[in-house]
């Protein structure tokens, strides 16, 4: 601390070390009291025993007219958000922190005070800078900007985890639709695992939301995970989480898994049939024990999660081929609900077209369109391998391409097969052989990318139809990866 050439006496300091330290401490204390915006001293019982002159100017904003009302009180009662009590209890300093309360935002420092035996006897709280200072403005602006972003992200996340649909949102009055709704209502109040079976786009996710929102867990999160859309190597971490320090890089600090996030609520596992065998046993254990063990951790965490699983694949066939564990299948299929494909629910068409049309108008800001009787007949006759999602997409494309308030069969030219025939039939014309596809789409040459996209869409729809909505098998038929198929399904709204 001192140079060898300069003795303490020569420097004008006391000759004993205790004296030197006491003098240094006193000088430092006075200096801090003066240089900082404010300072306070607390005793071991968290009581404020002294405040600097600078600190007194914060008293009105904290709701105190006089120093005597403030000094002597426990700090946690009079300074909202302070961590000084923690510093006394743990003995650990917090060298720099931001504190926001009704008096403003401050850069603060909190130091524990020890006696000679090392026992904590109190703490020193320093306000290093207040938000009004111009030197702090850039830092404060950044802080408040980040805080806004965090609040927005939190709001979006909690909105995303709220159920979007109720049982009433499942449109349909066909026998199949009514039966599905009856089963959903019956199972909703229980904690039973539900297995939703049905082709792509039939409304399995709508039902999962509806069951959750009619259950006692409705005020807790609904967390969704599409197993098929996540690479196998990441799935375990996604489901069960990662312990802090288990990996380097992005996961260094640990991450909660979907089971932990859904604690108290519902976890919707879409495309469960695509889960790798190795993970199936871990999932079965979690379902049986209601305990999860994050990757890289040897500690288990209890969770209370209701699972709703869905698949477009033939699970019993997968079990028979040894690709899906029989015990997991029986554990999931406690209550199986089969959602019928659109082609088996023709009676629901009119209501669906109406509801989807209104939803498209609301979301796009376009006027609501009606669909003529001929056009409806044309739509009803389609096979709809992509089911309601595909129907919605076709309605949306037809609305985008025309200003007409009533959509006619001609508005679906190029969007569904047979539209040209329907138009010709309505006009009393017999379609010429040359009007067969692809000429039935739109006369004249259309841009190549448009034609390629249409061809691709048709090929995928055909593959889905052939595999009865089984996406893994469709990807195999088309000789593309499952992930590529998912991208294209989203692109074409299939
Ligand atoms: N009965 C219904 N009433 C109204 N809209 C529906 C209904 N069923 C499905 N939809 C709509 O169809 C689209 C597809 O539904 P959803 O995502 O629930 O299907 P899915 O069976 O889960 O499909 P996938 O197996 O591909 O995940 C959504 O836009 C949804 O709003």
State if residue 205 touches ligand 1 by the CB under 6 angstroms criterion.
Answer: yes
Ligand 1 pocket test: pick from 183, 184, 198, 206 the residue with the most ligand atoms within 8 Å of its Cβ. 206
Residues 6+ apart with CB under 8 A from 167: 181, 184, 185, 188, 210, 211, 213, 214
State if residue 198 touches ligand 1 by the CB under 6 angstroms criterion.
Answer: yes
Helix (H, G, I), strand (E, B) or coil at 132: coil
Distance (Å, whole) CA 488 – CA 463: 13
- Counts for the chain of helices (H) and strands (E), in that order: 21, 14
Measured by CA distance, the residue closest to atom 17 of ligand 1 is 205
Tens digits of pLDDT across the chain (494 residues): 444 445 555 567 778 888 888 888 888 888 888 888 899 999 999 999 999 999 999 999 999 999 999 999 999 999 998 999 999 999 999 999 888 888 888 889 999 999 889 899 999 999 988 766 556 677 777 777 787 788 777 777 666 666 678 898 899 999 999 999 999 999 999 999 999 999 989 999 999 999 999 999 999 999 999 998 888 889 999 999 998 776 666 556 678 999 999 999 999 999 999 999 999 999 999 999 999 999 888 888 999 999 999 999 889 999 999 999 999 999 999 889 999 999 999 999 999 999 999 999 998 888 899 999 999 999 999 988 889 999 999 999 888 888 889 999 888 877 877 666 656 555 554 443 333 344 344 456 777 877 888 888 888 888 887 887 788 888 899 999 888 888 888 887 77
Ligand 1 pocket test: pick from 388, 396, 482 the residue with the most ligand atoms within 8 Å of its Cβ. 388
Distance from residue 122's CA to the centre of ligand 1 (Å): 62
Other CB atoms within a 10 A radius of the CB of residue 330 amount to 11
Distance from residue 207's CA to the centre of ligand 1 (Å): 8
Measured by CA distance, the residue closest to atom 15 of ligand 1 is 203
Does the bond joining 438 to the residue before it have cis omega, within 30 degrees of 0?
yes
State if residue 203 touches ligand 1 by the CB under 6 angstroms criterion.
Answer: yes
Predicted ipTM > 0.90 = yes
State if residue 345 touches ligand 1 by the CB under 6 angstroms criterion.
Answer: no
Q: What are phi and psi of 406, to 5 degrees?
A: -115, 125
Burial 420-449 (b: 16+ CB within 10 A, else e): bbbbbebeeeebeeebeeeebbeeeeeeee
Distance (Å, whole) CA 483 – CA 141: 42
Cβ pair 340, 180 in contact under 8 A: yes
State if residue 200 touches ligand 1 by the CB under 6 angstroms criterion.
Answer: yes
State if residue 215 touches ligand 1 by the CB under 6 angstroms criterion.
Answer: no
Distance from residue 475's CA to the centre of ligand 1 (Å): 21
Superfamily for 167-247+254-340? Answer: P-loop containing nucleotide triphosphate hydrolases (3.40.50.300)
* Fold held by 445-494: Arc Repressor Mutant, subunit A (1.10.10)
State if residue 39 touches ligand 1 by the CB under 6 angstroms criterion.
Answer: no
In angstroms, how far is the first alpha carbon of the chain from the final one? 75
Q: What is the DSSP annotation of 294-330? A: -BT----EE---EEEEEESS-HHHHHHTTSS-HHHHH
Measured by CA distance, the residue closest to atom 29 of ligand 1 is 389
Cβ pair 375, 409 in contact under 8 A: yes
State if residue 385 touches ligand 1 by the CB under 6 angstroms criterion.
Answer: no
Residues of the chain with CATH 3.30.450.20: 36-137
Distance (Å, whole) CA 149 – CA 155: 10
Distance from residue 409's CA to the centre of ligand 1 (Å): 24
Residues of the chain with CATH 1.10.8.60: 346-443
Residues of the chain with CATH 3.40.50.300: 167-247+254-340
Q: Which of 192, 169, 190, 193 is nearest to 180 (CA)?
A: 169
Q: Give domain 36-137's CATH number out of 3.30.450.20, 2.40.128.260, 2.60.34.10, 3.40.50.300.
A: 3.30.450.20
Helix (H, G, I), strand (E, B) or coil at 129: strand
Residue 448 is given by DSSP the state: H
Instruction: Report CA Rg, the chain.
Output: 34
Residues of the chain with CATH 1.10.10.60: 445-494
| Atom from ligand 1 closest to the CA of residue 388 | 12
Distance from residue 45's CA to the centre of ligand 1 (Å): 60
State if residue 201 touches ligand 1 by the CB under 6 angstroms criterion.
Answer: yes
Distance (Å, whole) CA 214 – CA 184: 9
Distance (Å, whole) CA 226 – CA 194: 16
Cβ pair 325, 280 in contact under 8 A: yes
Q: Per the structure block, which two tokens stand in for 302?
A: 């209890």
| CATH hierarchy code of domain 346-443 | 1.10.8.60
Question: How many angstroms separate the Cα of 36 from the Cα of each of 40, 56, 102, 145?
Answer: 11, 12, 20, 26
Cβ pair 318, 273 in contact under 8 A: yes
Distance (Å, whole) CA 294 – CA 337: 31
State if residue 386 touches ligand 1 by the CB under 6 angstroms criterion.
Answer: no
Q: Which of 379, 342, 311, 359 is nearest to 202 (CA)?
A: 342
Distance from residue 25's CA to the centre of ligand 1 (Å): 71
Instruction: Looking at 306-433, list the stretches that DSSP marks H as alpha helix, in order from N- to C-terminal side.
Output: 315-320, 326-332, 349-364, 373-380, 387-400, 419-426
Distance (Å, whole) CA 292 – CA 314: 28
104 forms bridges with which residues in the sheet?
A: 101
- Residue linked to tokens 């871990």: 282
């Amino acid at each position: 601390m001192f140079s060898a050439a300069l003795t303490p006496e020569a420097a004008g300091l006391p000759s004993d070390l205790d004296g030197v330290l006491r003098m240094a401490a006193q000088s430092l204390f006075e200096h801090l009291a003066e240089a900082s915006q404010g300072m306070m001293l607390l005793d071991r019982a968290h009581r404020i025993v002294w405040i600097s002159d600078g600190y007194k100017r914060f008293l009105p904003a904290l709701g105190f007219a006089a120093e005597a009302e403030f000094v002597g009180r426990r700090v946690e009662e009079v300074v909202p958000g302070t961590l000084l009590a923690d510093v006394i209890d743990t003995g650990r300093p917090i060298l720099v922190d931001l504190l926001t309360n009704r008096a403003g935002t401050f850069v603060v420092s909190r130091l524990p005070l020890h006696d000679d035996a090392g026992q904590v006897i109190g703490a020193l709280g320093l306000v290093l800078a207040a938000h009004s200072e111009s030197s702090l403005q850039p830092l404060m602006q950044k802080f408040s900007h980040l805080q806004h972003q965090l609040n927005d992200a939190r709001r979006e996340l909690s909105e995303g985890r709220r159920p979007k649909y109720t049982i009433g949102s499942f449109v349909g009055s066909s026998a199949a639709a009514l039966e599905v709704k009856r089963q959903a209502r019956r199972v909703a109040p229980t904690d039973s695992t539900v297995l939703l079976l049905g082709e792509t786009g039939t409304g399995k996710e709508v039902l999962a939301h509806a069951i959750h929102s009619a259950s006692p867990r409705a005020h807790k999160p609904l967390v969704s995970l599409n197993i098929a859309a996540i690479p196998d190597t990441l799935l375990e971490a996604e489901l069960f989480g990662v312990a802090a320090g288990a990996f380097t890089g992005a996961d260094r600090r640990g991450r909660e898994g979907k089971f932990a996030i859904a604690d108290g609520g519902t976890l919707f596992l879409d495309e469960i049939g695509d889960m790798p065998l190795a993970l199936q046993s871990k999932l079965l254990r979690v379902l049986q024990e209601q305990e999860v063990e994050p990757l890289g951790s040897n500690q288990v965490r209890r969770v209370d999660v209701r699972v709703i699983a869905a698949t477009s694949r033939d699970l019993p066939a997968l079990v028979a081929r040894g690709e899906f564990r029989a015990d997991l299948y029986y554990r999931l299929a406690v209550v199986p609900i089969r959602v019928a494909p659109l082609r088996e629910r023709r009676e629901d068409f009119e209501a669906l077209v109406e509801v989807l049309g209104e939803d498209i108008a609301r979301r796009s800001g376009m006027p609501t369109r009606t669909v003529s009787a001929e056009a409806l007949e044309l739509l009803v006759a389609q096979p709809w391998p992509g089911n309601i999602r595909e129907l919605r997409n076709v309605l949306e494309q037809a609305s985008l391409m025309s200003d007409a308030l009533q959509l006619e069969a001609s508005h679906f030219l190029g969007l569904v097969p047979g539209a040209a025939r329907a138009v010709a039939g309505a006009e009393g014309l017999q379609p010429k052989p040359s009007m067969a596809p692809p000429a039935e789409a739109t006369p004249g040459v259309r841009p190549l990318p448009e034609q390629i996209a249409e061809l691709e869409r048709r090929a995928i729809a055909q593959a889905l139809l052939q595999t009865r909505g089984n996406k893994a098998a469709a990807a195999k038929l088309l000789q593309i990866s499952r992930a590529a198929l998912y991208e294209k399904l989203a692109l074409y709204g299939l």
